[in-house]
Structure 1
Amino acid sequence: MAILDKILVGGFILAFILGAVATRTNFCTMGAVSDWVNMGDKNRFRSWVLAIAVAILGVTLAAYAGLVDMGLTTSNDTANPPYRVASFVWLRYIVGGLIFGIGMTLGSGCGNKTLLRLGGGNLKSVFVLLAISAGASLMIFTNFDYNLFLQWMTPLAIDFAKMGASGQDIGSVVNALSGVADSETLNLVFGLAIAALMMIWVFKSADFRASGELILAGLVVGLVVAGGWYLTAGSLGQTLLDEAEFMDVRPYALGAQSFTFVAPTAHAYQYLTQNLSSEFLTFALVAALGVIAGAFVYSLLFRKFRFEWFNSFRDFLNHIIGGFLMGIGGVLAMGCTVGQAITGAATLALGSFVAFGSIVLGSALTMKYQYYKMLYEDASVADVLLTALAEVHLLPGGMRRLEAM
């Protein structure tokens, strides 16, 4: 079996496991934010953070042991996307994350959840994925991203290369600023420390410790993401990159990467419109198919499969707008609730943590807006928005226009 085929098959198997386990445990990042914002329940959010911690721990240890080369993630030529790129365009992570967070709330779930629902028979997900693909394709295959965003964001970037850093990972930045140790050692120290702090916060909750399914979800999702990095940035992935230099046609989106669920919708469009060319059968696309397959098989075996449709035209419109915003925001932020918050965070790239926080904030703000708009149907957009901003502590409480209920 060719090396590329081995990586694609391995990615599909890992994604299949992810799809089945996430369906079984109801792993949902938007649901995690909703539980916290609307009910004060942080347990599903803890499961998400556990997945991040496990991925960070796995990749950090693998990198220090020389099992993966995370230095590949500093260049667009060797990674997809280059999470550790030295040019830290901080605004793209903030704006992209906010847009994605708004979109996933309107679309009733992130890209991963949309794939899981499709595998379980939710036909709404077909339209959401088409909308995500439209937004992502617009960003990836046209100049839309540069014309609307990057031309004014890039000049405000922080160029860590000018400071002597090889990338935006924590170890490289601290090494460049202080010189206290080499970046590999610093990444080990910071990676272990961040993972430990996350796990302490996660497991300090007795309710969470009693929830085997939530623990299982966090462990499996984190391990699957780490496994993706091992496939593409380990010996197989490095050999494939060397071989690609001599290929007549270099496979599209080749490089070190792990699971992300916005870009593959655009890859699927290219694959279908290019006569099923193997050039566009990417790791990300195969992973997305694996998630759908895992969710589908689990749903059939345990009789969870059921068809679902839109409740109204407004429901349809919200999902389409939400999907389109996820496509725009996910590409701009270079990832989603899995692609940045877990996969990207595992590289210790600063942008991943900024994107993670921005996605959560965008989702929480949208939920608060929807809540107060439902309670005060006649209230103006400005009044509802100011109240929502005050609710998420972006404005002083005295600026809220509507009373809490």
Structure 2
Amino acid sequence: MLETLIDTYGEGAVLMMAGLAVGVLFGAAAQHSRFCLRAAVAEVTGGQLGPRLSIWLVAFFAAVALVQGAVALGWFEVAQSRQLAATGSLSGAVFGGLMFGAGMILARGCASRLLVLSATGNLRALVTGLVLTLVAQSALRGVLAPAREALGRLWLVPGGAARNLLAVTGLEPGGAAGLAAAGLALSFGLAWWRGVRVSHALAAALVGLAVALGWAATCAVARVSFEVVPISSVTFTGPATDTLMGLVNSTRLPAGFGVGLVPGVFAGAGVMALLTGTFRVERFGAETPMERYLLGAGLMGFGAMLAGGCAVGAGLSGGAIMALTAWVAVFCMWLGAMATQALLNRGAAPHPVAG
């Protein structure tokens, strides 16, 4: 059936529809669960193992368990993904992760959370997300690209076994899936202990499922296509820049998984907000200064391109395939975010955890 769809509509269109479907699931699940790395960091920095941390852990371990379980069963193979096969940058993961984490706190949301909030009427998130996308494009191909390349070249790691945590640790995919499943069970236990609603915890698991479905869909198309199809999953900075540049520079968007993903997430989050009565317009105000959000957007845009992914692209999608640089990047995002949150907490009363 997949071959028929590709023959009829082409690889790009099939990938775009897959991205749209995965995006709708991710957006709806992220909005209902209030999935947000920044909120989880704020809880941990405040000395809490709270509900928002449990939501993030459920999504993370669900993604790892599902992806590694599928690999162990031979359902798909991720070794040819860019995050494993291509040369990576550990210096980029470190510096980019620290910058992204700091920016995430200043802007009160990572790239995925800003997109989800934009669909719920949050104009602060919409403006911040647009600035983030423009800075990311500048870091990829514009005036900031030389600085990104210079930092990225400081510490390179070759693609293949050196970039695969399974090869580095000697762990098999089945073993990784088992450990992640145990982590998932503990995360559900933490969610229950902290009073998280069952529907929110299940929605967080669906966030992880969306990541697994993204890998499965692109792998399936790549397997049957006569063209070279890059395999990937849910990530936001790169697809957002591609979508924005396509809208600005062309009368037609280039069909692909990422181009379907971004509007899918926006639609899924928006519909969920309307169904649950959480849609409301929010603007910048005295307690939400624009300059802080814009600084955060700039740090995230440059940091994501330097680190090779955002909090979801590296943290969930890259983490799920056990990419070394992705794990280093998300660890440094936590460090940068916790340090920034601690500094803000020293200077003023902590901001509410809600994203």
Instruction: Indicate the TM-score class for this superposition, using the shorter chain for normalisation.
Output: 0.7 to 0.9
Q: Is the 2:32–2:200 contact (alpha carbons within 8 Å) kept by the matching residues of 1? A: no
* Aligned twin of 1:34: 42
Greater alpha carbon shift after TM alignment, 294-303 vs 357-366 = 294-303
* Aligned twin of 1:157: 156
* Aligned twin of 1:198: 183
Return the offset for 1:357.
1.0
Alignment partners' CA distance in 2, 1:313 and 1:39: 24
The residue matched to 2:172 in structure 1 has which SS? Answer: helix
Q: How does 1:5-404 map to 2 (within 5 A)?
A: 5-38=13-46, 40-73=48-81, 82-85=82-85, 87-142=87-142, 144-145=144-145, 147-159=146-158, 165-174=160-169, 186-205=171-190, 206-208=192-194, 211-234=197-220, 236-240=221-225, 242-244=226-228, 255-279=230-254, 281-312=255-286, 315-374=289-348
Q: Gaps spanning 5+ residues in structure 2: where? A: 350-355
Find runs of 4+ consecutive structure 1 residues off by over 6 angstroms: none
Deviation by residue 1:60-115 (Cα, 9 ceiling, x = unmatched): 12223332221211xxxxxxxx1114634211111111111111111110111111
* Aligned twin of 1:383: none
Closer/same/farther in 2, CA of residues 209 and 117 from structure 1, 3 Å limit: closer
Letter in 1 for 2:301: G
Alignment partners' CA distance in 1, 2:346 and 2:91: 28
Q: Is the 2:79–2:85 contact (alpha carbons within 8 Å) kept by the matching residues of 1? A: no
Q: Gaps spanning 5+ residues in structure 1: where? A: 74-81, 176-185, 245-253, 376-405
Q: Is the 2:20–2:260 contact (alpha carbons within 8 Å) kept by the matching residues of 1? A: yes
Q: Is the 2:16–2:259 contact (alpha carbons within 8 Å) kept by the matching residues of 1? A: no
Return the offset for 1:126.
2.1
Alignment partners' CA distance in 2, 1:38 and 1:67: 41
Return the offset for 1:193.
4.3
Alignment partners' CA distance in 1, 2:88 and 2:121: 40
Alignment partners' CA distance in 1, 2:217 and 2:126: 29
Return the offset for 1:189.
4.0
Alignment partners' CA distance in 2, 1:24 and 1:303: 11
Q: Which of the pair has the greater relative contact order for Cα pairs under 8 Å at 6+ separation?
A: 2
Alignment partners' CA distance in 2, 1:258 and 1:171: 19
Alignment partners' CA distance in 2, 1:287 and 1:152: 29
Return the offset for 1:39.
5.2
TM-score when scaled to structure 1?
A: 0.77
Deviation by residue 1:180-217 (Cα, 9 ceiling, x = unmatched): xxxxxx43144224414422542453515864134213
Q: Is the 2:18–2:257 contact (alpha carbons within 8 Å) kept by the matching residues of 1? A: no
Return the offset for 1:30.
0.9
RMSD: 2.3
* Aligned twin of 2:352: none
The residue matched to 2:308 in structure 1 has which SS? Answer: coil
User: Which structure would you say has the larger Rg?
Assistant: 1
Alignment partners' CA distance in 2, 1:211 and 1:314: 29
Aligned length: 340
Q: Is the 1:132–1:326 contact (alpha carbons within 8 Å) kept by the matching residues of 2? A: yes
Return the offset for 1:153.
4.1
TM-score when scaled to structure 2?
A: 0.88
The residue matched to 1:70 in structure 2 has which SS? Answer: coil
The residue matched to 1:355 in structure 2 has which SS? Answer: helix
Letter in 2 for 1:243: E
Return the offset for 1:120.
0.6
Closer/same/farther in 2, CA of residues 322 and 137 from structure 1, 3 Å limit: same
Q: Is the 1:209–1:215 contact (alpha carbons within 8 Å) kept by the matching residues of 2? A: no
Alignment partners' CA distance in 1, 2:31 and 2:290: 23
Closer/same/farther in 2, CA of residues 38 and 139 from structure 1, 3 Å limit: same
Return the offset for 1:341.
0.8
Q: Is the 2:51–2:196 contact (alpha carbons within 8 Å) kept by the matching residues of 1? A: no
